[in-house]
Amino acid sequence: MLATSFQRLPLHDLHVARGGRIVPFAGYEMPVQYAAGVMKEHLHTRAACGLFDVSHMGLIELTARSGRLDDAARALERLVPQDIVGLAVGRQRYALFTNAAGGILDDLMVANLGDRLMLIVNAACKEADAAHLATHLADICTIEPLADRALIALQGPKAGAVLARLAPTTAAMRFLDAAMHDVMGVACFVSRSGYTGEDGFEIAIPLARAAAIVTALLDHPDVLPIGLGARDSLRLEAGLCLYGQDIGPDTTPVEAALEWSIQKARRTGGARGGGFPGADIILRQFEDGAPRRRVGLRPEGRAPVRGGASLFADATSGEPVGKVTSGGFGPTVNGPVAMGYVPAALASPGTRLFAEVRGQRHAVAVAALPFVPTSFKR
């Protein structure tokens, strides 16, 4: 039995009824897998459609006290290096809260809903993120965490057709579109995005109707419920970071290979260059490079290399040069995959390194990310 200190998802009973094996994660009781098992859940998501309950994550609405969205966007730019002012209505963008050292306090999604910004933040950080926003932006913005929503992700090549049956207006959405849509007569926040590298959606549903909508989606023959195990292997194959494991307060966006997320408007010489925490350090790394780099890793053989393993430049001697942050078996590539940090000089694809596993060093090769091509609807 799990400790009572863990919170339950709004759809907990549904997961138990469908055979979900419940484990503690990020302060919640969550399904790690169902009867099909992690491997089948992973491959089914790549081939058809998987449904993930991600209600542990945080939803925060940001509204300018002036009523002008531009004021809220400019205020948020005090805390993130992304171009929020230039984010069009009905669009979503990946963003990062940074600290004074250039490290990452959290990664999040920001959507422009026309009259307000919708933020989706990580479960373990949501209270700290809300406090961070209140401390720095309360003079300009109203910050409202939304606790009355369930958040689900529908992922896979058949996700568009599945959701369109319940919400026809979503069929026209493209990757990173985000807006309110009618789903079975219920106004829901829907974004065409996800954490698997596949086409798909994230849907915030009022709690009173969440079970009915999720049940209707799961009743579709192409949809399986998917647990944390497959969610992790899918995001790893897609080269996506897990906060607290692959990125955190001690990693900069440039070190983490996330500089693509910082638009020209916020870089040196841009229309609103700098002005965010750690800007001097981050923008200097754009010019000079960072001392280390997050890279993909392909271990030789079939044995996975897990997060925490040290990386070496030599098979038998020398001090560690880097560290694996995430690793496991990739069902789609039918082999082990990993990510980690190495010195910039060793970050080129094809570079041979050695990971220490149970006292022995195993060869790994630096590899380009992602391991599986994305299939977003552009």
Distance CA 89, CA 67 (A): 15
Architecture of 7-54+148-237 per CATH?
A: 2-Layer Sandwich (3.30)
- Which part of the chain has CATH 3.30.1360.120? 7-54+148-237
Give the number of other CB atoms < 10 A from CB of residue 143. 19
The domain 291-378 having CATH identifier 2.40.30.110: the answer here is yes
Task: Indicate the pairing of strand 141-145 with strand 149-155.
Answer: unpaired
Q: Please give the order of strands across the beta sheet that includes 28-33.
A: 7-8, 28-33, 21-25
Number of H helices, E strands in the chain: 8, 20
pLDDT given at position 1: 44
Which two three-digit tokens encode residue 24?
A: 């503690």
Among residues 116, 139, 104, 9, which one has the least CA distance to residue 60?
Answer: 116
Q: Is 153 exposed, middle or buried (0-12, 13-18, 19+ CB in 10 A)?
A: buried
The tens place of each residue's pLDDT in the chain, 378 residues long, gives 454 589 999 999 999 999 999 999 989 999 999 999 999 999 999 999 999 999 999 999 999 999 999 999 999 999 999 999 999 999 999 999 999 999 999 999 999 999 999 999 999 999 999 999 999 999 999 999 999 999 999 999 999 999 999 999 999 999 999 999 999 999 999 999 999 999 999 999 999 999 999 999 999 999 999 999 999 999 999 999 999 999 999 999 999 999 999 999 999 999 999 999 999 999 999 999 999 999 999 999 999 999 999 999 999 999 999 999 999 999 999 999 999 999 999 999 999 999 999 999 999 999 999 999 999 999
Distance CA 312, CA 110 (A): 38
* pTM greater than 0.85 (yes/no): yes
pLDDT given at position 5: 81
SS3 content of the chain, % helix, strand, coil (to 5): 25, 35, 40
- Which part of the chain has CATH 2.40.30.110? 291-378
pLDDT given at position 4: 58
Distance CA 251, CA 155 (A): 29
Q: What is the CA radius of gyration of the chain?
A: 21
3-class secondary-structure state, position 266: helix
DSSP 123: G
Distance CA 355, CA 367 (A): 14
Residues 6+ apart with CB under 8 A from 17: none
